[in-house]
Structure 1
Amino acid sequence: MLFTELPLLERPAAAKAAGFDAVEFWWPFASAVPADAEVDGFVDAVQGAGVQLIGLNFFAGDMPGGDRGLVSWPARSAEFADNVDVVVGIGDRLGCKAFNALYGNRTDESTPVAQDEIATENLALAARAVARIGGVVLVEPVSGAPRYPLLTAADVIRVIDRVEAAAGVSNVKFLCDLYHLDVNGDNVTAAIEDHFDRIGHVQIADSPGRGEPGTGTLDIAGHLAALAGKGYDGYVALEYKPTVGTVESLAWLPPADRSSAARV
Structure 2
Amino acid sequence: MGFTETRFNVNLSILFTELPLLERPAAARAAGFTAVELWWPWVDAPTPESSELDALRAAIEDAGVRLVGLNFYAGQLPGPDRGALSVPGAESQRFRANVPVAIAFATALGCTTFNALYGNRVEGVEAAVQDALALENLTFAARAVGRVGGTLLIEALNAPESPRCPIVSAPRAIEVVDAVNAATGLDNTRFLMDLYHLSMNGEDLEAVIDRYTGKTAHVQIADAPGRGAPGTGTLDLPALLDRLKNNGYEGYTGLEYKPSGPSADAFAWLPAPRRAAH
Q: TM-score range by the shorter chain?
A: over 0.9
Instruction: Choose from 226, 229, 236 the match for 1:209.
Output: 226
The correspondence for 2:36, drawn from 11, 16, 23, is 23
Distance in 2 (alpha carbons) for counterparts of 1:141 and 1:64: 15
Cα shift at 1:166: 2.4
Residue 34 of structure 2 aligns to which amino acid in structure 1?
D
**SS state at 1:94 partner:** coil
2:235 is aligned to: 218
8 A contact 2:103–2:112 mirrored in 1? no
* Alignment partner of 1:192 is 2:209: yes
**In structure 2, distance between residues paired with 1:72 and 1:169:** 21
**RMSD across aligned positions (CA):** 1.2
Check whether the contact 1:2–1:246 (CA below 8 A) recurs between aligned residues. Answer: yes
1:181-214 deviation digits (Å, cap 9, x = unpaired): 0001111111111111110100000000000000
Q: Equivalent residue for 2:47?
A: 33
Which residue is 2:11 aligned to?
none
Corresponding residue for 2:101?
86
Query: What is the aligned partner in structure 1 of residue 19 from structure 2?
Result: 6
Among candidates 181, 188, 194, match of residue 171 of structure 1: 188
Shift of the alpha carbon at 1:135? 1.1
CA distance in 2: counterparts of 1:185 and 1:111, whole angstroms: 27
Q: State the Cα distance separating 1:165 from its structure 2 match.
A: 2.1
Corresponding residue to 1:51 among 46, 51, 65:
65
Comparing 176-185 with 108-117, which one deviates more in the overlay? 108-117
- What amino acid does structure 2 have at the position aligned with 1:115? Q
The residue type equivalent to 1:135 in the other structure is: G
Kindly indicate whether the alpha-carbon contact (under 8 Å) linking 1:141 and 1:151 is maintained by their aligned counterparts in 2.
yes
State the alpha-carbon separation in 2 of the partners of residues 247 and 180 from structure 1: 24
Gaps of 5+ in 2: 1-13
Whether 1:136 and 2:186 are equivalent positions in the alignment is no
**Are the equivalent residues in 2 in contact too, given 1:23–1:53 (CA < 8 A)?**
yes
Over the matched positions of the two proteins, sequence identity in percent amounts to: 51
Name 1:71's counterpart in structure 2: 85
Instruction: State how far apart, in whole Å, the 2-side matches of 1:170 and 1:129 are.
Output: 13
Deviations 1:83-105 (A, max 9, x none): 00111111221111211100000
Which SS does the other structure have where 2:128 is aligned? Answer: helix
- The structure 1 segments of at least 4 consecutive aligned residues displaced by more than 6 Å after TM superposition are none
CA deviation vs aligned residue, 1:142-198 (integer Å, no higher than 9, x gap): 121110111110010111112222232311110000000000111111111111111
Q: TM-score, normalised by structure 2?
A: 0.91
* More helix by percentage: 1
1:242 aligns with 2:253: no
CA separation in 1, counterparts of 2:248 and 2:52?
Answer: 38
1:225-250 superposed Cα distances (whole Å, 9 cap, x missing partner): 00111111110010000112212110
Q: Secondary structure at the match of 1:250?
A: coil
Equivalent-residue separation in structure 1 for 2:190 and 2:127 (angstroms): 22
Residue 112 (1) aligns with residue 127 (2): yes
Tell me if structure 1 keeps the 8 A contact 2:46–2:98: yes
SS class of match (1:251): coil
Give the aligned partner of residue 161 of structure 1. 178
- Check whether the contact 2:146–2:186 (CA below 8 A) recurs between aligned residues: no
Whole-angstrom CA distance in 2 between matches of 1:142 and 1:64: 12
- Report how many aligned residue pairs link the two structures: 261
Is residue 125 from structure 1 mapped to residue 140 from structure 2 by the alignment?
A: yes
Higher relative contact order (CA 8 A, sep 6+): 2
Asked if 2 retains the 8 angstrom alpha-carbon contact of 1:124 and 1:169, the reply is no
